Chain A
């Protein structure tokens, strides 16, 4: 069965890259444009793994991750943070919010896929 990935990113460029990379790797990809939409979409798609950006309008990655973790049904889903911000403070905040792992942008496809494989059964 295809693994389902929910990506949350406000950048159209990155969304398209994720889509191409994930589809090529045989994933089922669902996309949201910010944290608010991410939480909405979550209800419908029940993904195996989430890949999210941090800097987003409306609801940023931190808030989105907290939202997922506080949801009884979805709190076990692994969440990978996809961001250029790899400095300690932001990574820590993402981890405190409940991120499972991270991928430093700009990513290469192999890193992304490897990270997803690493956190999904």
Chain B
């Protein structure tokens, strides 16, 4: 599926993804549109529903455009929040948790 063979862009998420972080995250993701993205969520200690909305919307948009968007690395807090919110999109769950 991966389009042109170039290595994916890595987007490192900040520690706190609260209300204030949602707009910035949105901009960052939008700026990478058209490219494959690897998300590094290993530093995330707190993430709110709104940032999850941004990430899930991006995952779905990328998928619809036939490009790669996946969370490569994620902290426990990130995974825990996904579970708590009942989100099980494979794009947001890092590889090791899917195994």
Question: Which chain B residues (12-33) contact chain A, with CB distance < 8 Å?
Answer: 18-20
Let me know if B46 is at the binding interface, CB within 8 A.
Answer: yes
Task: Specify which chain B residues have a CB less than 8 angstroms from the CB of A72 in the assembled complex.
Answer: 20
Beta-carbon contact of B20 and A76 below 8 Å: yes
A73 to B18, CA, bound (A): 12
* Interface size of B as a range: under 10
**Interface readout for A52-94 with B: 1 if CB under 8 Å, 0 if not?**
0000000000000000000011011000000000000000000
Min Cβ gap A117→B in Å is: 14
Query: Is A114 engaged at the interface, CB distance under 8 Å to the other chain?
Result: no
Across-interface contacts of B18 in A (CB, < 8 A): 76
Cβ–Cβ contact A121 & B46, under 8 A: yes
Q: In the complex, A75 Cα to B18 Cα: how many Å?
A: 11
Closest to B22 in A: A76
Q: Give the chain A neighbours of B19 by CB distance below 8 A.
A: 75-76
Taking a contact as CB atoms under 8 Å apart, the answer to whether A75 and B20 are in contact is yes
Contact code string B51-73 (vs A, CB < 8 Å = 1, else 0): 00000000000000000000000
Q: Note all chain B residues with C-beta closer than 8 A to A76.
A: 18-20
The distance in angstroms between the C-alpha atoms of A75 and B20, with both chains bound, is 8
Within 8 Å CB of B20, what residues of A?
72-73, 75-76
Nearest 4 pairs between A and B by C-beta?
Answer: A76-B19, A121-B46, A76-B20, A76-B18
**B contacts, CB < 8 Å to A:** 18-20, 46
6 inter-chain pairs at a CB distance below 8 angstroms, sorted by A residue, are: A72-B20, A73-B20, A75-B19, A75-B20, A76-B18, A121-B46
Given contacts A75-B19, A76-B18, 6 further A-B contacts (CB under 8 A): A72-B20, A73-B20, A75-B20, A76-B19, A76-B20, A121-B46
